Amino acid sequence: MAVLKVIELLASSEKSWEDAAQNAVKMASKTINGIRSVYVQDMSAVVKGDRIVEFRVNAKISFEVLS
């Protein structure tokens, strides 16, 4: 039986929501091994004038702590 832990991260990107989610996984993988999945809970954006300048995600990342 595997035991998983879930952490919540806020990440951003100037390109897209997909890139923001990738940034969350990339940063988490620097200190966490065994990442299994990422669940994007919320998405938001920062708008200046008439364009989006920053994409943001609230991501839950699950990883294995015991197998």
pLDDT confidence tier of residue 45, bands split at 50, 70 and 90: very high
pTM: 0.89
The distance of Cα 4 from the centroid of its chain, to the nearest Å, equals 17
What local confidence, expressed as pLDDT, does residue 67 receive?
75
Structural domains in the chain, CATH included, are 3-66 (3.30.1660.10)
pLDDT confidence tier of residue 66, bands split at 50, 70 and 90: confident
Rounded to 5°, angle at Cα 29 from 5 and 62: 20
